[in-house]
């Protein structure tokens, strides 16, 4: 399957997080807590494919409370299908 990040397509497999894909492809995305959902620095904008992502976790919701509904934490968001993302 493919994920589009900032207009460029990357191959991935179902179940990886957006952060996993970014790290595997040397894309710069803040992630101070190393993907443990404690810092909230890996915020991304979901442009398309919301239905192809894992449900928002309770930990993730704490970090996103004041942000747009299209925002997710890359470390907590698992890919389940085609999706398009913009890094912040």
Nearest to 60 by CA among 36, 81, 84: 36
Domain 2-87: assigned CATH number: 3.10.20.30
pLDDT on residue 5? 98
Q: In the prediction, which pLDDT does 13 show? A: 96
CA geometry: angle at 37 spanning 55 and 67, to 5°?
Answer: 65
The domain spans of the chain are 2-87
> What confidence score (pLDDT) does residue 20 get?
98
pLDDT of residue 11: 96
> Residue 10's Cα: distance from chain center in Å?
13
Q: Is pLDDT of 24 > 90?
A: yes
């Amino acid at each position: 399957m493919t994920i589009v990040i900032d207009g460029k397509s990357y191959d991935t497999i179902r179940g990886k997080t957006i952060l996993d894909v970014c790290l595997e492809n040397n894309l710069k995305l803040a992630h101070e807590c190393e993907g443990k959902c404690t810092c909230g620095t890996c915020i991304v904008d979901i442009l398309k494919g919301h239905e192809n992502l894992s449900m928002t976790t309770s930990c993730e919701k704490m970090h996103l409370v004041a942000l747009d509904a299209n925002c997710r934490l890359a470390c907590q968001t698992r890919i389940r299908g085609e999706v398009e993302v913009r890094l912040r």
